[in-house]
Amino acid sequence: MRLESLPKSKETKRKKRVGIGPGSGHGKTSTRGEKGQHSRSGSSISAWFQGGQTPLYRRLPKRGFNNKRFETKYATINLTTLNKYFNDGDEVTPEILKERGILKKQLSGVKVLGNGTLEKKIVIKAQRFSTTAVTKIESAGGKAEVI
């Protein structure tokens, strides 16, 4: 058996080359029909386009319920900032952080994240702590208290 004797499959079928004009064998419009949007070059319309009419998804009213409005958002603070602004033996509370201008908004509370290192013994009182933050605070000799 030789390669040229194999039967032709659809994969090897050549793409139709559409020429311009009557000499191409596809007529003067080259199989595009007469006038209109699709006869122009570069015409492509998305499947959901409704001819300039306001689309259905915009005509229908919004419905349903989403709990995202009621989610609890925490103001976050990293250990590097606590290490920078507080001394050994200080007590850190959300009110103190707000007073000193370290936090702009308290939101639903404060969450302490474990980014960076803590080299001071600090007692931190907050609503939430990440697990890495708790281990780093305790290894430095401080305390992490949940309010």
Each residue of 45-67: pLDDT tens digit? 888 888 889 999 999 999 888 89
In a domain, 118, yes or no: yes
Pairwise CA distance, residues 75 & 80, whole Å: 15
In a domain, 2, yes or no: no
In a domain, 38, yes or no: no
Give the torsion sign (CA, 116, 121, 127, 131): positive
In a domain, 57, yes or no: no
Q: Could you tell me the pLDDT band of residue 44, with boundaries at 50, 70 and 90?
A: confident
pLDDT of 10 reads 67
Is 111 in contact with 127 (CB distance < 8 Å)?
Answer: yes
Read off the CATH number of the domain in which 125 is found.
Answer: 3.100.10.10
Torsion of CA 65, 68, 72, 74, to 10 degrees: -170
Span 35-42, average pLDDT: 85
Is 60 in contact with 54 (CB distance < 8 Å)?
Answer: no
In a domain, 43, yes or no: no
pLDDT of 66 reads 87
In a domain, 119, yes or no: yes
Sheet holding 123-126, edge to edge: 91-92, 123-126, 143-146
Q: 106-130 burial, b if ≥16 CB within 10 A, otherwise e? A: eeeebbbbbeeebebebebbbbbbb
Pairwise CA distance, residues 97 & 122, whole Å: 13
pLDDT tens digits for range 106-140:
788 999 999 988 898 999 999 999 999 999 999 99
List Cβ neighbours of 98 (8 Å cut-off, separation of 6 or more): 106
pLDDT tens digits for range 2-34:
888 887 776 767 777 777 777 888 888 888 888
In a domain, 132, yes or no: yes
Backbone dihedral region of 57: left (phi > 0), alpha (psi from -120 to 50 degrees) or beta? Answer: alpha
In a domain, 15, yes or no: no
pLDDT tens digits for range 68-113:
888 889 999 999 999 889 888 889 999 999 998 889 887 889 999 9
Give me the number of domains the chain comprises: 1
First to last CA, the chain: 82
Q: In terms of residue numbers, what domain contains 103? A: 70-146
